[in-house]
Structure 1
Amino acid sequence: MGSQTRIRKQCIKVWVDKREKEEIEDNAKGCNHSASSFLRNLGMGYTPKSMIDHKAVGDLMQLNGDLGRLGGLLKMLLSNQEDFVGHEDKMVEVSSLLNGLNDLRNEIREKVGAI
């Protein structure tokens, strides 16, 4: 990769069909590049970083935070044991819900780590 002000005077033609051209342009947009710079980077051995991955990580992290807040509210509810006197079956349901939320948070963290 070089300076954006460098003058490039050489052209390499690549023949593609309409579907291939659209796919290349879509992939380039996903990496915040023009089709030309995207193909040049690939040809020079660079791997462009996808902007879509960053958005996916942000969305997953926001979901993780939402789950944490929901878990906190449920814990606060559970801390008031007077609400559950005579309703122990409800306490078990809420406890299993908390366990499910924790499992989901761990799964989200694994997926974020994989990206």
Structure 2
Amino acid sequence: MTSGTKQKTTARRRSKPIEVWVTDEEKAVITDKAKEAGMYRSGYLSALGMNTPIRSVVDLTAVGDLAKVSGDLGRAAGLLKLWLAEKRGEGANPIDVESVMIEFRRLQVAIGMKMGAIVKAHR
């Protein structure tokens, strides 16, 4: 988990604990899900009990990572295009180059659609 992912809220006194009996496996799953949401276990369970939507920090981090990959893909396509413009006629068939450029664009669109679906699911 990256720093700063825990949601900071104003501290308030909670004086009434609720005991929940779970197996070791269930506790591990709850702990993992709370970490994914960037929350403490008690806050996570409290939010679930109050029917508050839980948003996963992990998925939103993945969207950021996908955005970086998409940017890298765009830069690679740009460099390829620049290199080919400077080396016109030296090695690569223009039809093959265009098909690679089309594939780069298709991959960027696919990445963008995945990012949009993840973000939309977290609203």
What TM-score results when the alignment is normalised by the length of structure 1? 0.86
Query: For the aligned residues, what is the CA RMSD?
Result: 1.7
**1:84 aligned onto 2:89:** yes
- Correspondence for 1:33: 39
CA offset at residue 77 of structure 1? 2.5
CA offset at residue 35 of structure 1? 0.6
Larger Rg: 1
Given the alignment, which residue of 22, 27, 48 partners 1:21?
A: 27
SS of the residue 1:83 aligns to? coil
Q: Which has the higher contact order (CA 8 A, sep 6+)?
A: 2
**1:109 aligned onto 2:115:** no
How many positions carry a matched residue from both structures? Answer: 110
- Correspondence for 1:66: 72
In 2: Cα distance, 1:78 partner to 1:5 partner: 59
In 1: Cα distance, 2:111 partner to 2:12 partner: 43
CA offset at residue 4 of structure 1? 4.0
Given the alignment, which residue of 53, 64, 75 partners 1:47?
A: 53
Please identify which structure carries the higher helix content. 1
CA offset at residue 76 of structure 1? 1.2
Identity, % of aligned positions: 38
What TM-score results when the alignment is normalised by the length of structure 2? 0.81
Unaligned runs of 5+ in 2: 1-8, 119-123
